[in-house]
Structure 1
């Protein structure tokens, strides 16, 4: 039989006596599955997190995979849904998916683990995740209800607070004015271009591009995203996000940072647009922490995350009247249904849309010309309710 990536023959040496044979076989299983996963071009971070979960589940069950039962999965799930740190349904479903894939791998005869376990322990691994003991994917969006797009008033409240923070530091003469200006502009850029956290932090100066339709914006009319969210097993997707006139205020801030503030840090040939005082690239972890502090200072709800600005961007573009296809291309969604999930238009927008529809349907009757009986737009004698 030809050995495939992850097969037992590639990670276990026949005829070797291990001091702790069950532990050695389990480590071989993890090594083999890691090879199989990496052969699918999955990232190291994805594979590492899955292996960590398998070790965690093994410790919880108190047994190795060839002794696992569906009851172990059910007990594990109960533990995840109990207590103050209750896991979200989407997270638990991801755990179940990892366990199911690992069991599929172990029970596949091509990888020889059933034979190895039978010969060594007199047991064979089985599938322990079934439709009756795992979380089903019932809805397209399972995010927390409190996470929503910010209203226009909330955005103004947040951005005013960002500007005040910079002014306070400058007037006090303390250090940190450049960092405050950078963080403020990063958050504004996140909203004005609808970027994800990683997309924002991975921007280089060279990614700032002109928009040929608006030469007055110079080299800040578009942003070239090179580290867009990758489809599993693929490379990061690229796209160009055009600045829209409703958010042209962000262009002045970008220009100020790139041409005036950033050079003060003397970044030399460092490519990153957002650099720290130590000339390193700003991390997503730092950005999350700073946003949490600034959000609290602005008096906004703690459930509103940085990603909510991306939801706000999609919602507001729709309210401005941009076609859904344009919005989908701007944010880099593969499917229009994903963009629809992000959209949550305001009551004011819905009221205006309804008023416009009422105006189209219940138009007042047009004037008639008695001499000719001609009408403008409607038939003579027709009554229309308003």
Structure 2
């Protein structure tokens, strides 16, 4: 038998009598599947989450994989859709995909699990996930409807709250003025460059780059993103995001943070752009907590997450008239269709676009334009 990563004979010792043979075989299956996924260069966090889901499903079904049935999947799905903590469609679909992949692994003859189960338990695993009991991916976007771009008024309210908070803390003489300034600049940078949360938190000072076309912006005319979203075990993708003139106000904020505020933390040789008072990188979890606090301070809807600023960035660039291809490159999407999902232009923009079309086609002005 060939030594394929995840094969039964590599993780299940022969000639060993187990006190709990079904439990030992199940754990060996999980260990083998973990090896197979890691050989695809998947992240440890991804592998751990998938293994945890398989364990969760086995505990729900109260059966081992060779005894699973399609009805177990249906009952599991029903449980996920009930109660106050019901899962969203995309989450459930992801669970189905994971369980389907695990069953495919067990049924692949190269790994030897069919023979092991038949010899030990006189039963073999089956594919319990099929087209009629799993969620289909029918639409491009399955996010929550409440997650949307912020309006211009909401952006102004948020930024005003950020600036006021820095001034109030600084005038009071209380500790926390630097942290407040950092939080404000992180939120503004996320919006002004359309960054994801991970891309924002993992920036280093050296990632701030000049734009040769705008020398007056110094080294703050572009951001080199090194930790963009990866896929299928690949390394994080990279891109350079250019500052746009409509958001040039972010330049002064970045310059103030890098040249004046950040040195007060005593960073020494540390490269991180965003540091805490303890001189460690601002974590993703901390950024989530800070944004939730700032959002509540500004009186915005609790459904608006940090990622909504990225949606706002895409929407506002489109409204400013930037070509769709430019916007797609700025945010690092592989396909323009993904960028289109992020776009939710305002009614005013639609009205202006229609008025321009009427002038172009008919050469006349509308009644609203005359008024």
TM surpasses 0.5: yes
Deviation at residue 107 of structure 1 after TM alignment? 1.0
Identify the residue that residue 283 of structure 1 maps to in structure 2: 283
Give a deviation string over 1:86-108, Cα, whole Å, max 9, x none.
Answer: 10000000000000000000011
Q: Which residue of 1 aligns with 2:103?
A: 103
TM-score normalised per structure 1: 0.94
Query: What pairs with 1:37-186 in structure 2 (closer than 5 Å)?
Result: 37-186=37-186
How does the TM-score come out when normalised to structure 2? Answer: 0.97
How many residues align structurally? 365
Tell me which structure has the larger Cα radius of gyration: 1
Contact 2:161 2:298 in 1 (8 A): yes
Which residue of the partner structure matches residue 249 of structure 2?
Answer: 249
What does residue 197 of structure 1 align with? 197
How far apart, in 2, do the equivalents of 1:10 and 1:154 lie?
57
Measured in 1, the distance between the counterparts of 2:71 and 2:119 equals: 25
Q: What is the deviation of 1:136? A: 0.6
Instruction: Note if 1:228 corresponds to 2:251.
Output: no
Q: How does 1:343-354 map to 2 (within 5 A)?
A: 343-354=343-354
1:65-123 deviations in Å (ceiling 9; x for gaps): 01000111111101000011110000000000000000000011111101101111111
Q: Distance in 1 between matches of 2:60 and 2:363?
A: 69
Partner residue of 2:16? 16
In structure 1, what is the Cα distance between the partners aligned to 2:110 and 2:244?
Answer: 54
Q: How does 1:320-339 map to 2 (within 5 A)?
A: 320-339=320-339
- Are residues 1:269 and 2:269 paired? yes
Look up the match of 1:311.
311
Cα distance in 2, alignment partners of residues 78 and 56 from structure 1: 15
Q: Which residue of 2 aligns with 1:240?
A: 240
CA separation in 1, counterparts of 2:165 and 2:59? 48
Separation (CA, whole Å) in 1 of partners of 2:172 and 2:273: 27
Question: RMSD value over aligned CA atoms?
Answer: 0.9
Distance 1:57 1:102 in 2: 11
Which stretch shifts more, 238-247 or 294-303?
294-303
CA distance in 2, matches of 1:149, 1:27: 45
User: Cα offset for 1:364?
Assistant: 5.1
Q: Mark the runs of 5 or more structure 1 residues left unpaired by the alignment.
A: 366-386
Aligned to 1:297: 297
Partner of 2:369: none
* SS of aligned partner of 2:275: coil
**Other-structure match for 1:383:** none
Query: Residue 368 of structure 2 aligns with which residue?
Result: none
Distance 1:273 1:364 in 2: 53
8 Å contact kept, 2:358–2:364: no
Q: Give 3-state SS (helix, strand or coil) of 2:86's partner.
A: coil
For residues 127 and 231 of structure 2, the distance between their equivalents in structure 1, rounded to whole angstroms, comes to 27
Runs of at least 4 residues off by over 2 Å = none
